[in-house]
Amino acid sequence: MESLVSTLAKTQNVETRNGRFTFIDLFSGIGGMRIAFSRQGGVCVFSSEWDRYAQKTYFDNFDVLPQGDITQINAHDIPAHDILVAGFPCQPFSIAGVSKKNSLGRETGFQDKTQGTLFFDICRILEAKRPKAFLLENVKNLKSHDKGNTWRVIQESLNQLGYEIFSQVIDGQGFVPQHRERIFIVGFDRQRYGNFYNFQFDVENQKPEKVPVLRDILDKAVDKKYTLSDKLWEYLRNYAQKHKEKGNGFGYGMPDFDGVTRTLSARYYKDGSEILIYQGEGKNPRRLTPRECARLQGYPDSFKITVSDTRAYKQFGNSVVVPLVTAIAGRVVEKMEELDAEENQDHRW
């Protein structure tokens, strides 16, 4: 299966239509970053994603089958591009991921041999192809992981490659009705542009005038299969009460219809506890449907969901807030074009 996927991906024709810029989509998941950069006029010339279910969703929506394991792809085989885009795996750096791996006696961060080192695949592609700019996305606490050592290695690696980097933790709230903080790292090629400039993410003024709230993304009629069973609902209530008595804040989340939700996670398929929807007195709450999860992440309703509910929950939980990334993409492209114009002006002189 892996060989077939790889062969099919390599034989696909790269888009040749004219665009504002070209980009590649690494660790592409189901294509949230692709949508964002395409909305800013970009043409995606390469994508890579190892999970076969995410590959299916990606193919069903973009008619492109991402190539597989990035560690097995020769950087020189990747097409030239203006911007590298990557939401690289966050499990080695996330609080939940670190806790889980510590409990199993496994290493985390860059010592994790299966995921932590994937950041260096980004580095080798940056070195081989030297795009003008890049955008990376990861979990909020990337900077604090391993007492700051992980962030230090990332900064040093990108600096050594000759990229001027800027970073900021940004909450998706305001673009979607979800509290979702992620770190975004932007870089521009110092060999091309130097470093006598600044970059501001400045996405606040791009939020919609009407603040999105939970009720905006909810379906009017929902299948009863999404309602929690009596057994699960009792378990969640007992679990929450137990932790409340201990002074902890753990427990299920049931947001106000005119408010925002907690962060949607890849584990949502297990019990839906972080975001439960109130259904009235005498009735158990329900999970969000996969389509509602898609909306919570800012995906359009035209986005096709062609996998099981379990897979869909995982995919949307691992994805990005599309309208937020679209806003950041716009700022990156604007800055790149501004620097290109200055470079051309210098050459004329």
Annotated catalytic sites, by residue? 90
* Per-residue 3-state assignment (H helix, E strand, C coil) for 219-254: CCCCCHHHECCHHHHHHHHHHHHHHHHCCCCCCCCC
Secondary structure letter of residue 310 according to DSSP: H
- Give the amino acid at 331: R
CA 330/CA 40 separation, integer angstroms: 6
The label of the residue with tokens 């509602």 reads 292
In terms of Cβ atoms closer than 10 Å to its own Cβ (0-12, 13-18, 19+), residue 13 is exposed
Residue pair 84/125 in contact (Cβ under 8 Å)? The answer is yes
Instruction: Give CA separation, 187 vs 29, 132, 279, in Å.
Output: 22, 8, 46
Give 247-255's long-range contacts (Cβ < 8 A, gap of 24+).
252/276, 254/278, 254/285, 255/214
What is the side-by-side order of every strand in the sheet holding 163-171? 42-47, 21-26, 83-86, 133-139, 181-189, 163-171
Q: Strand 163-171 to strand 42-47: parallel, antiparallel, or no bridges (unpaired)?
A: unpaired
Strand 133-139 versus strand 83-86 pairing type: parallel
323, 263, 309: which is closest to 53 by C-alpha?
309
245 CB-near residues (< 8 Å, 6+ apart)? none
Residue 288: name the closest of 216, 224, 226, 229 by CA.
226
